[in-house]
Chains A and B, each alone.
Chain A
Amino acid sequence: EAQVTQNPRYLITVTGKKLTVTCSQNMNHEYMSWYRQDPGLGLRQIYYSMNVEVTDKGDVPEGYKVSRKEKRNFPLILESPSPNQTSLYFCASSPTQEPSGNTIYFGEGSWLTVV
């Protein structure tokens, strides 16, 4: 079954404690990205990756890091989380760099609370 898997799904952490949210896809997709969803703001892109070792900033990259060492994995790293990073995070992947109507697959989301 084609899927994008995120972990953890739910996490409460404290300010300043480094954390990583993992994302893995089993569809051999080149393109992966991270979004955060906040009430009244919709989804905003944090980082994206066109392929292995190729990453770039999205619209709201501050406070986040990513890496793409393997095609299937695209972890999101919060080096020093702060309360304003409390949000619902989605990982997404798609099969090609060109949209051409290709479906973008989303993970189930990770609820992160920073206290």
Chain B
Amino acid sequence: KAGVTQTPRYLIKTRGQQVTLSCSPISGHRSVSWYQQTPGQGLQFLFEYFSETQRNKGNFPGRFSGRQFSNSRSEMNVSTLELGDSALYLCASKPAGPTDTQYFGPGTRLTVL
């Protein structure tokens, strides 16, 4: 099976712009989670989608949003970018339940100038 893919791999934006990141899960996986990884804060959970519905949400401002499509592909959007949004954004997919293993994509490196 193909792994989790994320596009684009690298992105450079300026403050105030918005950005959309894409994630294609492993075939058959219905749950997609997004994480932000920074050197100072480590891995922080953004949100999880399951069957097109947001099932869990982390403690991020409303500028961070996401959605999931009927084919389980997911997008994450960040509006009004700030310098502090520079990070590696990781997507992970799993079949469905809490004991299922999450498999991670390679990430999208976002740099905000």
Q: Do A and B come from one complex?
A: no
